Chains A and B, each alone.
Chain A
Amino acid sequence: MTATANRRNSGNLAAKAVGLAFLIVCLLIAETLIRADAISRYIVPPPSEIMGSFYRIVTEEHVARRFLLTAAECLAAGAMITVFGIAGGVLMHRFKLLQQACETWVAAMASAPVVLCYPLFMVIFGRNAWTIIMIGFIAALPPVILKTIEGLAGTRKVLVNVGRSFNLTPMQQFWKILFPAALPTIFVGLRLGLIFALINVVGVEFLINYGGLGQLIEDLAERYDLAGTYAAICFVILVSVLFFMTLEKIERWLRPVD
């Protein structure tokens, strides 16, 4: 058994090494082609130049401040989806008629391109952080509502019956039985919501040229600082990936062992 697990681990490691090696080879080929002028460096700067720009954009472009601003916007949208999304889900679970009437609408909202309303939000809230936060909030709300309903409805019957046998009040039944049982599913919704919020926050920052990391890319692109633009894009991708990984870890930690 241990030998099989060891073999599997070494196989995984070899595969990951091949993936990384492939990436490095691609970068080296790009570097060679750009240096040989087969690809114009005015379209794609050499990877070495992009890596060199990392330090420059971190020190000169106030990346820490921008990162904190984007994080604060995401956090504000995240807090709002947590409060309103879970409350909406609980309300729809409690009043079945409301759920039957509105659940399809919420599902339709989840597939609607809300971010395209950003000009509308700019008119309402102005070109400021509220526009960004509100788009993040509206775009990220549907998965939280839908997953809250799913989590509450999926509570095992036996747990609900235990609550009834203890004569729990509806409030106690909710806080001691339904909510804890639904929490892992609710967090799946929150994770999806936070991912949507981050995507929309960074996207709108870029589109309206305001705020944190999204604006940094737009700013550098307008200055035609090619290496800086590529480095900033890589930086945003890196931040996003780390954010998803952290959320995934928290979700795994919350999920009960089957």
Chain B
Amino acid sequence: MAETGRLTRAGEGRPLVSMVTLLRAAIILAGLALWEFLSHSGLLYRDVVPSLLAIARALGGLLASPNYYFNLGVTAAEIGAAIAIGGLSGLAVGILLGANPFLSKAFESYIYYLGPTPKIIFFPVMIMWFGVGPESKVALGTLSCFFPVALSVAAGMRGIDRVLIRVGESFRANTWQTVMKIYLPAMRHPIINGVRLGLGVALIGTLLAETKLSNKGIGFLIINAYSTFDMPRMYANLIVLFVLAIGANALVGRLGGLDSIKRV
């Protein structure tokens, strides 16, 4: 009874809006006020910091434009293809390296050290190999996505509980069954984590390539807005892109149950 009373009182004492929410709201409001002040102060070149109203108008125009969705579709298709090709090849190589210690010692250090190098510098080569169309963007995205997936899967493969593998052996599972019924389910988290990292770098690789040389896609829209000095449109493009990128990252993490790992 006493416990129930204490709990009820604790619940009643909780403020409607927590201090954290208030502080967040205050920071956001201060940021927006500072932005608006900068926009009207004339301290920066005209239009470098457009007013919030102009950005909101550009955002509305962007989201209402069918052309934007066409370009979003192009970029999404390129990133999707990059993740499919880079992710699957990364998965295959990761399984191979994780399952075979000799191959891992022979080749993993190359992947480990090549992984974090700047991939955009390969773009001139990709243009020569695949042309100036979407193929070269997919290739750059694939190259970016391959390394984190391969490394994460190889590490995940080595981290599988030996007991699970022995259970498979005692059931006389063949290689295919072992991979499908033991390795892949046991490696769900490292695979999702690799895909999450791969998605981030594939997105950057594809979009940077689009800003460098293309005539469609979100990267093209951003660089086109820059070239025509349409700052509100550029900000609007960047805002939507950031929301989509962070959202996609969080979604992949949630689908893979990565939140539940952190909580444990």
Contact = CB atoms under 8 A, between A and B. Distances in A.
B118 A198 contact: yes
B200 A202 contact: no
A11 B20 contact: no
Contact of A124 (B48, B110, B121, B250): B48
Interface in B178-230: 200, 203-204, 207-208, 211-212, 219, 222-223, 225-226, 229
6 contacts: A12-B105, A15-B102, A15-B105, A113-B200, A116-B211, A233-B121
A113 B201 CA distance: 8
A44 B250 CA distance: 40
Interface in A192-222: 195, 198-200, 202-203, 206-207, 214, 217-218, 221
A122 B222 CA distance: 13
Interface stretch (A29-37, A54-62, A175-183, A234-242): A234-242
B107 interface: yes
A39 to B, nearest CB: 10
Interface in A95-114: 97-98, 100-102, 108, 111-113
A116 B106 contact: no
B70 interface: no
Contacts of B107: 19, 22
A241 B113 contact: yes
Interface in A6-30: 11-12, 15-16, 18-19, 22-23
Given A23-B110, A116-B207, A237-B114, 10 more contacts: A44-B128, A112-B242, A113-B203, A113-B207, A116-B222, A119-B222, A123-B231, A206-B123, A214-B118, A241-B113
Contacts of A233: 121-122, 125
Contacts of A195: 116
B241 interface: yes
A120 interface: yes
B9 interface: no
Contact of A18 (B106, B121, B211, B234): B106
Interface string B39-68: 000001100100000000000000000000
B118 A117 contact: no
Given A108-B246, A116-B222, A206-B121, A101 B200 contact: no
B120 A207 contact: yes
Contacts of A82: none
Nearest to B105: A15
Interface of B: 19-20, 23-24, 27, 44-45, 48, 102-103, 105-107, 109-110, 113-114, 116-118, 120-125, 128-129, 200, 203-204, 207-208, 211-212, 219, 222-223, 225-226, 229, 231, 234-235, 238, 241-242, 245-246, 249-250
Nearest to A116: B207
Given A202-B118, A217-B124, A101 B23 contact: yes
A230 interface: yes
B118 A120 contact: no
Given A16-B105, A115-B204, A199 B117 contact: yes
Contacts of A12: 105
B110 A206 contact: no
Interface in A61-79: none
B113 A120 contact: no
A218 B124 contact: yes
A229 interface: yes
Contacts of B129: 43-44
Q: Which 6 A-B pairs have the closest CB atoms?
A: A15-B105, A221-B124, A119-B226, A19-B106, A15-B106, A101-B23
Contacts of B219: 116
Given A119-B211, A123-B231, A198-B118, A244 B128 contact: no
Interface string A118-146: 11101110000000000000000000000
A83 interface: no
A172 B223 CA distance: 51
B118 A113 contact: no
Contacts of B114: 237, 241
B117 A115 contact: no
B102 A97 contact: no
A199 B234 CA distance: 24
Q: Which among A15, A198, A217, A229 has the highest number of chain B CB atoms within 10 Å?
A: A15
Contacts of A98: 23
A206 B20 contact: no
B44 A199 contact: no
Q: Which of B44, B114, B118, B245 has the most CB of A within 10 A?
A: B118
Contacts of B48: 123-124
Contacts of B120: 203, 206-207
Candidate in A111, A115, A122, A124 with the most chain B CB atoms within 10 angstroms: A111
